[in-house]
Structure 1
């Protein structure tokens, strides 16, 4: 098979391993350059992976020298805007680790450059590529519980990371909530309309900043999404995928993030006068996937290029997941509800 994708990998830290291994396994890709602010780290990665490509400390130089047409951006979040814009302007597609960028202005700028240059910029949202969440989404989309009106996600884990997260101002919202927020959008096939968020640091927390948050989102399908999360909750942890409940006209769909999803719906037949009505339990239908999580998301990114379409996690879509994070922070700071469209429009350049 001919090589179609000449890849420069920007950022040679831990996450790069998964991306590089995936590219090496494909017959239609070639890694033509590695970039890191420390050249010795890029050189060590090349040696470890058996790559003979050159190494660089500058993304523009790397793309120009190698004639790359695709950039894997696995740099730190604060570099995503610069790396993404530079690569897009040089004619490359970009596959990026989350988050899209660190501010809504930078997110919108990446979307603008992607559209202007007719190049794909896609974001890694690996939790979408779990067969169980796909089965859960299908269970709801098929109308099993009728029209949904409420969705909730509980995320309670006592995570003793140490290091930079312990010193962050908003460790839960900034470093983790993007996953759950993106999952909510995926499950409901809806975008955020507004958010009210209260974040705080509960007793016993080992974080300097606010490690707990409660958010109420109004969604574009008319439903309400309630997020309750904590990164300093000792005991009885939820799954890292969160614990989910969606209530609809005729029943409730449940997924605990670990087992298989199911729904309980009001049983057929006359139940007039029943205080609590009898329900039937309906399991979600299993979903088969060749690759899951990171590899599944990368499969979708490459498939979108082959099929000349936008990927599922294209920047123009993913900006709404990032908007949920950043608008939540804005709401927590102001103490008031944020209307997300107005807030995003205010961030556009005049």
Structure 2
């Protein structure tokens, strides 16, 4: 089964999607990019040339390109403010849709897209590629093993200073809306708990080159008395953390730390007498399924499998809206100074 695809949004981020398809034989065999859409046709033409898509239909009107290319699926890589219109157009044209995050710019829009996907019977999923990496999968497997007992806390630090230029530097709530959702989604996945409430403080620190919200500190309440804390900044010059954050998982019997790259450490309580009982190191096993650790390629493969089998993809919009709710409730908390309950 070959799926005809239209990619909408031909900026820098689209290259990661096309590269994942091109470099993964199974995806290259199942997906044929038949159309490229962008408000700037020159960007689409340049992308077509770079990835050898000489036969692709190029245009500025998504509905028109879908029709001309006989598309089955749409890859949505547009800026967040254009997402609702793009996804709505694609679903109404009877295409399955895989979207960049965030899935919408409001919970109301997100819910409307979920309803439209259900109405049309099409798969609508989100490319939360950062939960499809080895480190996150290792943490989830480790928590499920019970090696450190019941999970009680997840604590993440994210401090970098990227100078993107472009739309991000003009966004409101830029860290929470454009980046923190990755860590929020991964924490929800690792804990396997429903988010219940949040209190958040958001600032735009001195020296920030962003217009708004380059720093945030949030405390989430998850089900079963699990607490998740997030401290982050996108204008923190100096020694940085990983893009994946630095993690500490606290369990009833021990802890795990991950530096966001290759460094894992885990230990349970030791047996030495005295004030501190020491600790006993514990191995953190590799992910159980390597095919789930390839970022974009793994998400796209999950999306294709869902289309072919009817199985709900892991990042289906109906689930991903809970991660989106974490973001918007954190933003509401920051604006109001109040603890906000999460209902999604």
Q: Tell me the TM-score range normalised by the shorter chain.
A: over 0.9
CA distances 1:209-249 after superposition (whole Å, capped 9, x unpaired): 23211111111232011111111222231111101111111
Aligned to 2:276: 276
How big is the shift at 1:99? 1.2
Report the secondary structure of 2:88's partner residue.
helix
Matched-pair contact (CA < 8 Å) for 1:136–1:262: no
CA distance in 2, matches of 1:325, 1:223: 18
Structure 2 gaps, min length 5: none
2:257 is the counterpart of 1:259: no
How big is the shift at 1:298? 1.5
CA distances 1:59-90 after superposition (whole Å, capped 9, x unpaired): 11122222211111111111111111111122
Aligned to 2:32: 30
CA distance in 2, matches of 1:43, 1:201: 38
CA distances 1:43-64 after superposition (whole Å, capped 9, x unpaired): 3322332221221211111222
Aligned to 1:156: 159
Aligned to 2:290: 289
CA RMSD of aligned residues (A): 1.8
Distance change in 2, residues 1:89/1:100 (3 Å): same
Aligned to 1:46: 48
CA distance in 1, matches of 2:266, 2:251: 10
How big is the shift at 1:191? 2.4
How big is the shift at 1:125? 0.9
CA distance in 2, matches of 1:166, 1:18: 21
Report the secondary structure of 1:133's partner residue.
helix
**Which of 1, 9, 12 lines up with 2:10 in the alignment?**
12
Report the secondary structure of 1:40's partner residue.
helix
CA distance in 2, matches of 1:65, 1:163: 32
Aligned to 1:240: 243
**Which of 326, 332, 335 lines up with 1:333 in the alignment?**
335
Matched-pair contact (CA < 8 Å) for 2:196–2:221: yes
Matched-pair contact (CA < 8 Å) for 1:127–1:293: yes
How big is the shift at 1:188? 0.6
CA distance in 2, matches of 1:131, 1:60: 37
CA distances 1:266-309 after superposition (whole Å, capped 9, x unpaired): 13x5x5x5311121111210125246111222122222223321
State the aligned residue count.
337
2:301 is the counterpart of 1:299: yes
CA distance in 2, matches of 1:194, 1:144: 27
How big is the shift at 1:140? 1.2
How big is the shift at 1:321? 0.9
Structure 1 residues 186-265: aligned runs within 5 Å = 186-265=189-268
Aligned to 2:80: 77
Give TM-score, length-normalised by structure 1.
Answer: 0.91
Distance change in 2, residues 1:303/1:162 (3 Å): same
CA distance in 2, matches of 1:283, 1:304: 34
Distance change in 2, residues 1:152/1:194 (3 Å): same
Structure 1 residues 53-68: aligned runs within 5 Å = 53-68=56-71
CA distance in 2, matches of 1:176, 1:259: 21
How big is the shift at 1:21? 3.6
CA distances 1:313-343 after superposition (whole Å, capped 9, x unpaired): 11011111111111111111111011111xx
CA distance in 2, matches of 1:234, 1:17: 27
CA distance in 2, matches of 1:161, 1:65: 35
Matched-pair contact (CA < 8 Å) for 1:165–1:171: yes
